[in-house]
Every structure is written in C-alpha cells, then in structure tokens.
Amino acid sequence: MNPISTKMGAFYKNKKILVTGGTGSIGKQLVHQLLNYDPKQVIVYSRDDSKQYMMQCNYAHCENLHFSLGNIRDLQKLEYMTQGMDLIFHTAALKQVPICENNPFETINTNIIGSENVIKAAIKNQVKKVINISTDKAINPMNILGATKLISEKLFFKANSMNNNKHTQFSSVRFGNVFGSRGSVVPLFINQATSGNPITVTDLDMTRFFMTIPQAVDLTLKAAFYSNGGETFILKMDAIRIKDLAEVIQSYYNGMNEKNLIPIKMTGIRPGEKIYEELLTEHEISKALEDDELFVLTNDEGDFYHFKPASINSYRSDQVPCINKEKISNLFLNFLKTHNKG
C-alpha cells in the first residue's frame, strides 16, 4: 500500500459517514471502498427502496453499514440523519440532461434546494467535512443540469464563510462523464445495439471527458482527505470522440451477429447539449494548481505544497488528444466484464 493509501486509511478509520444518493453508480462504489477503511458507521441515504434492498442483501454481513430512505429535499430528515456524522459525501442529484431540460423545477428542487439542505444540516450538526459531487457541465453551462450544478458548486464554496459556520469544511469534486455509469451513453448504446436498434449519435464532432467509476471514487476519497474547505478537485482525464465510442460498440455487437448488422444513426444535437465539455474556465486555470493526477482550485488555505501552478491554457474535451479506438475498446470490454453484460 502506498503512503497516500495508508494515510487515507487512517483518515477514514472510525469515522461516521453519510452518503447521499448512496445506491447510485458512484455512491454504491464509494460505499464499497469506504468499508475497506474500517469506518465506525456508513449510512446510505437515498430514495429508492428497491436499490436499497438489493444493496442490503449484498452487504448483509456489514454491521457498520446502515440504510435510510429519504430525500435531500427533506431538510428535517437530513438534520436528523446528519447528527453525529464526521463526513458527508453528497452524490444525490438529477443528472440526465434531457430529463432536466424537460423538468426544470424538479431539477432545481433537487440539485439546488437539496444541496442547500445538505449544507444547512451539516452546519447545524457541526459535521467536519462535506464533499459535493459536481460535473463538467457546470462550466459555462448551456442546460438546466449544468446551471443547477454550477449554483450548487457556488453554494458549497460560499458555505465555508457563512457567519453561522464555525466547524464545517465544504469542498467539491468535478467529474467528467463516468464511463458506464447508470444513465450514461455507454449503457444507452449497449441497449440500442442489443435491441437491434440503430446506435444514435447526435454529432460527429462531439467529444466528452471520461473517467472510470474507480477513478471517480478515488478522486472523491482523495478530495475529502486533502480538503481544508473551499477547494474544487478535478481529475486529469482523457477525452473520447463519441462517434469513435459508438463505432467500437457497433463493431463489437456486429461481430456477434453478422446477419443483423447494427447501423449508426445521426440524430442532431439535443436541447441543452454541447459539442464539447470543459473542466476548467480560463479564469480558473489562472489560479489552478496541479500535480501528476489532479487539478485543484484552492482558497489558499490548504496544504498543497507538492502541487505547482497549472501549466495549461485551456481544458476542453475538443482541445486535448482523444484516446484511440483500441483504448476505447479496452475500456468497453472491461466494463462488460465488470458488469457481466458481455
């Protein structure tokens, strides 16, 4: 085990931790990893009773893992559930661009009001640290999802200096697209191909930043370990051309059934969709720090002595090298192996 892993293990040992959205793709794997660090208690707080039931069955042997049905829109319930907690990972959110576009008030109630409730509950109960999960869609947003996540980031940053906050440190992590997470483009393409339908691509030039679920979880765990309040942590990640991803998945399934070949269909950009994504604004880059794995936006109070000023001019998915199809294929095959969908 490397020194950072050893220190993180000591950091999480005997902690009481609440994970909002703990049955989601990221939340579930985050809980799994946290349990390896011997915390005193981990509470999964989420809305879906079916997902909680399945997760309870998988972790029936874990005496330090507990479950609570609840909604982050419910401030009173959050205030009750955060009593005595040392740490909160806030992963709960509405995340689908088209659904958020069509349901703006619901998205605001969850992504903004829900985040505000997490902040209020944490401050009231003097939780030591809160890590907010954000997204590259919060940078120069063109859609409801991005706008609400931008406001959520701002709320968590501002919460550090609120007059009634004397004990809680708030920080954020900013994700790219998480390869294979529920609701992402990979399961969509798989479902289209296995149903015999065309794989739909909205634009030939569309690019996205991608990270794996283990990378997303590792970033989140490191953020809580490093944070002193007010930081935003961003993983240095690869970009993928969506057309290349579609062609890799098309080739895989066409190789399995040469009699019924799956085509790729161009559909045009959806409302609120961008050709490329950004992980840092030009203004943020001027203040960002970096090491080999991360960029950090800091409030100048943290201990980031081993980081150096960022050496990039922009961080857009159309301006970094996209990984080739061989690497995409390896990612895809590993996803299938992990999820037993091959």
| 218-248 residue pLDDT tens | 999 999 999 999 999 999 999 999 999 999 9
Across the range 47-75, mean pLDDT stands at 97
Measured CA distances, 220 to 136, 166, 213 (Å): 15, 23, 11
Q: Please check the confidence at residue 66 and state whether its pLDDT lies above 90.
A: yes
* Residue 125 belongs to some domain of the structure: yes
Q: Which residue has better confidence, 166 or 139?
A: 139
| 111-128 residue pLDDT tens | 999 999 999 999 999 999
* Residue 341 belongs to some domain of the structure: no
Q: How many Cα atoms occupy the beta-carbon half-sphere of 318 within 13 Å?
A: 8
* Residue 185 belongs to some domain of the structure: no
**223 is in which domain, residue-wise?**
3-176+213-236+281-314
* Residue 161 belongs to some domain of the structure: yes
In the residue annotation, 341 being an active-site residue is answered as no
* Residue 198 belongs to some domain of the structure: no
Tell me which of 137, 222, 243, 274 is the catalytic residue.
Answer: 137
How many domains does the chain divide into? Answer: 1
Q: How many Cα atoms occupy the beta-carbon half-sphere of 167 within 13 Å?
A: 13
DSSP 124: H
Q: Is 149 left (phi over 0), alpha (psi -120 to 50) or beta?
A: alpha
| 285-326 residue pLDDT tens | 988 999 999 999 987 666 677 889 999 888 999 999 999 999
| 139-161 residue pLDDT tens | 999 999 999 999 999 999 999 98
Question: pTM of the predicted model, to two decimals?
Answer: 0.93
Looking at residue 205, its pLDDT comes to 96
* Residue 150 belongs to some domain of the structure: yes
Under the banding of pLDDT at 50, 70 and 90, the label for residue 16 is: very high
| Residues in a beta bridge with 241 | 207
CATH label of the domain that carries residue 303: 3.40.50.720
The set of long-range contacts for 303-312, using a CB threshold of 8 Å and a minimum separation of 24, is: 303/228, 304/226, 310/280, 310/285, 312/280, 312/285
Helices (DSSP H) in the chain: which residue ranges? 3-12, 25-35, 49-58, 75-81, 97-102, 104-108, 114-124, 144-159, 185-194, 213-226, 242-256, 282-285, 325-339
* Residue 274 belongs to some domain of the structure: no
* Residue 81 belongs to some domain of the structure: yes
Looking at residue 62, its pLDDT comes to 95
